[in-house]
Amino acid sequence: MVFLDLLFSFFCRGGKKEENKRKGNPCDDSKFSRLIGCPFSAHAKFHKPSREWSFATDYPRHNHPPSEDPWAHTENRHLTPAQYSKVKNLTKAGLKPAEILQVMQTTKAPTENLLATWNTIYVAKQKVKNESLHCLSPIVQLKQNLSASDYTSQVKTDVDGTIKALFFCHNSSLELLQAYHTILFLDCTYKTKKFKMPLLHIAGVSGNNKLFSVAFCFLAEENVSFYTWALDCFCSVILVHKITPPEVLITDRELALMNAIENIFPNSTHMLCTWHIEKNILTNASRFIKDQDLVQKILSHWSNLLKLSTPSKLYSSFSRFSAIYPSKLIAYVEKTWIPLAPGFVNAWTKKITHFDH
């Protein structure tokens, strides 16, 4: 018979300060950690055949005085069941960790011990969210919640029943859209941390020039097929509610989305968002040009080009623009944006009802 001894090692505050440094970061971040480089270490060993314990210290001294502040020990920061229940209720009410901690500190009983930090509350909130999933994925739970709410929703699944796309819009948003349907903005975010799927956001513009959300759609992929499915869902919803299709659809330079718009809304005008264009040019200009004053000058000059009233003025002014600024930037603009100029330059868009968006 083989007997294996049990060995337990004890260290003070987790290790060396240098182990706390982020990879590639030369800065000393030890002030944000409990790792203080204390050399103390001890070992306890249980010998099974003799059933005896032995204890030894490799280095019996600490490099710091005893911690008198109870906040220094993580064990003291744990929440009691009653405190966790309060965090759970405040989380459901939509409060942020700092707000939850403030409420708990101001409402605790005089004899109640509360040494929790923001991180303690954050961890508790994550536990609450995980419990609320009931072993479901976040996207499946969202689908169930939408089905029991005032949202209109549609789902796209594969042959195995896995959700590949989820479209939803609120009835109140559709009431607003009934009155303000002229212009719609469509933008797709990258994969989010929680759902890990791109999110297509459709927004309208109210009479006081304020944006309002109309519909959302989580997509497994950002391609023509999925965008077409999302827009087809939206088209079905506005037909059921007898809402006039939008006159103008504004997007960034997402080619798959642009093709889907042409398929689903052939009678609507598609325009490109000048804000996204300027951000894109700024990013690319910063790669070629380190002088930020020159970059801002380029953006200002570009903005003036967009306001020109005729195509001939645009092309002649762009020739002068090309002669002034770096060739790499000009090559990028000529290839990426000039062919799409009818979708965002005033020379073409001045006859479109877009209210300067």
Q: What is the pLDDT of residue 39?
A: 79
Q: What is the pLDDT of residue 135?
A: 65
What torsion, rounded to 10 degrees, do the Cα atoms 272, 275, 281, 287 define?
Answer: -140
The three-state secondary structure class of 84 is helix
Is residue 160 packed enough to be buried (19+ CB in 10 Å), middle (13-18) or exposed (0-12)? exposed
The answer to whether 308 touches 350, Cβ cutoff 8 Å, is: no
Distance CA 184, CA 20 (A): 48
Beta bridge partners of 8: 44
Q: What is the pLDDT of residue 14?
A: 47
Amino acid occupying residue 254: E
Q: Running DSSP on this structure, what letter comes out for residue 75?
A: G
8's enclosing H/E stretch is strand 6-11
Low-confidence ranges of the chain (pLDDT < 70): 1-5, 13-36, 71-72, 133-136, 191-195, 357
Q: What is the pLDDT of residue 4?
A: 60
Distance CA 333, CA 324 (A): 14
The answer to whether 312 touches 279, Cβ cutoff 8 Å, is: no
Q: What is the pLDDT of residue 240?
A: 93
Tell me the two tokens of residue 180: 């303000």
* Cβ-proximal residues to 303 (8 Å cutoff; 6+ apart), any chain: 278
Beta bridge partners of 163: 157
Tell me the two tokens of residue 16: 């060396």
How many angstroms separate the most distant Cα atoms in the chain? 97
